[in-house]
Structures are given as C-alpha cells and as structure tokens.
Amino acid sequence: MAVPIPSLYIENVIREIALSRRLFDTHDVIKRLMARYPARYKTALAACGAKRNPLHSLHTQLGRAIAEICLRLGYHPRQSRSKDIHDRNSRCLSWS
C-alpha cells in the first residue's frame, strides 16, 4: 500500500529535525508531519477510515516509510520508547 503522505514531505521533515538534533525518533517525525502538513495528514487519516483502527494503520504506514527513508539517508535505528501523539510512552525506533 502506498504511503498517503508523499515521501518528499517525510524526507523534508526528517532532514529538518536532523539539523537541530543528532538523535530523533519516529514519533518526532510523525508529530512534525502532523504540524507541518495538517490537511495532508487529515486526508491520509480519512483514507484509512474503513480500517478497524485508522490511526494505527496510518502510523504503521508512516513508520515504515520513515524507516525506509532514514536508512537510505544513512541513519542507524535503535529500539526506543518515547511519547506518542496521545502522550503515552510507547515503542518506536530512534535514529542517529
């Protein structure tokens, strides 16, 4: 399934975050995508609406796209935990 937010947008956000921080995680990228491209994010979420858990479905797709882009850009993954969009501490990948 194609990622509902263009890869270029995701890559731009990753590069932007990486300019100010050596270590960032997938939650950081998703939060920044939501803030930077709110209409695109809402449209992507609505497109997942028929699924049982549209938010989880969208964030899974985004997480995979973020990982693919980060690996291509030469970042190294590590299992991590951080605050998600619901302010809950959950698993994700950190990148450095």
pLDDT value at position 1? Answer: 54
Q: Is 80 exceeded by the pLDDT of residue 62?
A: yes
- Closest by CA to 17, choosing from 7, 3, 4, 27, is 27
Torsion over CA: 6, 7, 10, 11 (sign): negative
pLDDT value at position 50? Answer: 73
Distance CA 91, CA 83 (A): 9
Residue range 14-53, pLDDT digits in tens: 999 999 999 999 999 999 999 999 999 999 999 987 778 9
Q: State which amino acid sits at residue 33.
A: L
Helix or strand (DSSP H, E) at 91: strand 89-95
Q: Where are the domains of the chain?
A: 7-95
What percentage of the chain has pLDDT greater than the value 70?
98
Mean pLDDT across the chain, nearest whole number? 94
pLDDT value at position 94? Answer: 98
